Amino acid sequence: MHGISLWATPWWVNLLLLAPFINWAVWRKRPLGIDGSSLMFAGMFAAAFGFVEAAVVVYLRAALGIVPEAAVQLNEVNRITSQLSVPASQLPPIVQNMMHVEVAREAATIIMLLSVAMLAARALRDRWAAFLWMFAIWDILYYVGLWATVRWPASLLDVDVLFLIPVPWVSQVWFPVLVSGLCMVAVVLGRRKAGEAEKAKSAVA
């Protein structure tokens, strides 16, 4: 069992904890206008995409020999992280190729989430909220998908490589799950008044 680590690396990754609070403070003064049905369908997409992402990661790591059997050895992430700290030219060719695939996959993921967010709302602030909403759901369902398929992470204290752009982000699993959960709460609270307005409008109609 790992002890809890309060810091992610690099240091600036920890600033993500401020994002839901800053957004909520802004949205409290000027509530979001995105409607509930748009959030629901965007959330369904993000949830399904999160599971697909988990499956892709399992396949990629199986191709690298990190998953020799059902008792997945994704806790070897510490070893992988140590490899990521050296120049790419010094890595084995297969690892270099997979690193390129991982970076491209992560970039594609962000583009997909942004694209759906653009379709979910018209105002820029609502599109940003939709992106945060989907990213949070996708992130949580990613870990749920990994646990459902290969029983990893065994606990929220397991270490994971969160992202590779522009450099590897490393933390225990509880960190991204907490940030994602707080972002979802911020979006819900940020559109509370908008939701009340929708109900009032429906009642009048």
**Distance (Å, whole) CA 94 – CA 98:** 6
For residue 104, name the pLDDT band (cuts at 50, 70, 90): confident
Highest mean pLDDT among 7-16, 52-61, 86-95, 100-109: 7-16
**Tens digit of pLDDT for each residue in 107-151?**
999 999 999 999 999 999 999 999 999 999 999 999 999 999 888
Which pLDDT score is estimated for 150?
84
- Reduced to 3 states, what is the DSSP secondary structure of residue 65? coil
pLDDT of residue 16 exceeding 70: yes
| Reported confidence tier of residue 58, pLDDT bands at 50, 70, 90 | confident
Whether residue 198 is predicted with pLDDT greater than 70 in this model: the reply is no
DSSP state of 48: H
pLDDT at 105: 84
State the pLDDT at residue 75: 45
Is residue 170 within 8 Å of 78, Cβ to Cβ? Answer: no
Please compute the mean of the pLDDT values over residues 70-80 and round it to a whole number. 44
Each domain of the chain, given as residue ranges in start order, spans 11-199
CA distance 95 to 93: 5
The answer to whether residue 199 scores a pLDDT higher than 80 is: no
Residues 170/161, Cβ–Cβ less than 8 Å? yes
Residue 18 has pLDDT above 90, yes or no: yes
Mean pLDDT across the stretch 41-57?
93
pLDDT at residue number 93: 57
- Please give the share of the chain, as a percent, with pLDDT higher than 90: 55
What pTM was computed for the model? Answer: 0.80
CA distance 173 to 155: 8
Give residue 74's pLDDT band: very low, low, confident or very high (50, 70, 90). Answer: very low
102 neighbors 164 (Cβ within 8 angstroms): yes
Of 44, 40, 70, the residue nearest 141 (C-alpha) = 44
* pLDDT given at position 70: 39
Q: Which residues of 169-200 are buried (b: 16+ CB within 10 A; e: fewer)?
A: bbbbbbbbbebbebbbebbebbbeebeeeeee
Angstrom distance (rounded) from CA 25 to CA 19? 10
Angle at 161 (CA atoms; ends 23, 97), nearest 5 degrees: 120
Give the model confidence (pLDDT) of 161-171 as tens digits: 898 888 889 99
